[in-house]
Amino acid sequence: MLKILIAEDEEPIANLIRMNLKKAGYSCQCVYDGEAASNLLEKERFDLLLLDIMLPRISGYEVMEYAKSLDVPVIFITAMSSISQRVAGLKMGAEDYIVKPFEIVELLARVEAVLRRCQKIGKQIHVLDVEIDLSSRIVLQNGQQVLLTPKEYELLLFFARNPNIALYRETLYEQVWEREYTGDSRTVDLHVQRLKKKLGWDDHISAVYKIGYRLET
């Protein structure tokens, strides 16, 4: 299991991030100041560091230098949103930069992208009885190929990357169809029903009242 260190001085935000990353299958630890982050990096090996810049005791920029020496990839998470600050963080070697407030689904997508880019995870995703090969876009269920349309594939992939999270229809539509949501839920609902039928996942993809859907693993 991949290990992620969350260095964030606002405990409610840190705990929210940890809860959702754990649901997505990661092992997580939280620290609330830069000194604790540096000490833990020295003691344990992590695959990724989510790092707030404005930390007590030791700044995120200083922790970043230490993490870089240990070859731990870093995503900065901060309320500072100016272009110059983003550029400074990226020039230091951060893999990505997320500005507060952010959506959890965006955070999960960026975490996965960085881990894949840094070769921390492979080119397959396993969820329940399904294996998704990201290179060939082939979906296997119990070893048998399942034929999906391109949109059904993208929908499955988004569910698999965000397990146990209630996903708004608007989010599903904008991520899969890459267009602005206009309020017509029929397109999303139709594709979800087809996907559930093809995979036999009636008990796993559930409707969430007034929100959308959730893949329960």
pTM for this one? 0.65
What is the Cα–Cα distance from 151 to 93, expressed in whole angstroms? 35
d(CA 106, CA 165): 12
pLDDT higher than 80, residue 69 = yes
Using the Cα atoms of residue 207, residue 209, residue 210 and residue 216 in order, give the sign of their dihedral. negative
Of residues 157, 149, 108, the one with CA closest to residue 130: 157
pLDDT at 153 exceeding the cut of 90: yes
Helix ranges (H only) for the chain are 11-23, 34-43, 60-69, 83-91, 104-117, 150-161, 169-176, 186-199
> What is the identity of the amino acid at 104?
I
Percent of the chain exceeding pLDDT 90 equals: 48
- Spatial contact of 128 and 195, defined as CB atoms under 8 Å apart: no
For residue 163, cis peptide bond before it (omega within 30 degrees of 0) = no
Number of Cβ within 10 Å of residue 190's Cβ equals 11
In this structure, the dihedral spanned by the alpha carbons of residues 198, 208, 170 and 24, taken in order and rounded to 10 degrees, is -70
In order of their start, the domains of the chain are: 3-117 (3.40.50.2300), 124-215 (1.10.10.10)
- Nearest residue to 216 via CA among 171, 147, 159: 159
Give tens-digit pLDDT for 78-135: 887 667 766 777 777 889 988 888 888 889 889 988 988 887 766 778 889 999 987 7
Closest CA to 195 of 136, 124, 132: 132
Q: What are phi and psi of 141, to 5 degrees?
A: -125, 115
- Confidence check: pLDDT of 213 > 90: yes
Structure tokens given for 191: 């594709």
- Rounded CA separation 98/138 (Å): 31
In angstroms, the CA 97 to CA 85 distance is 10
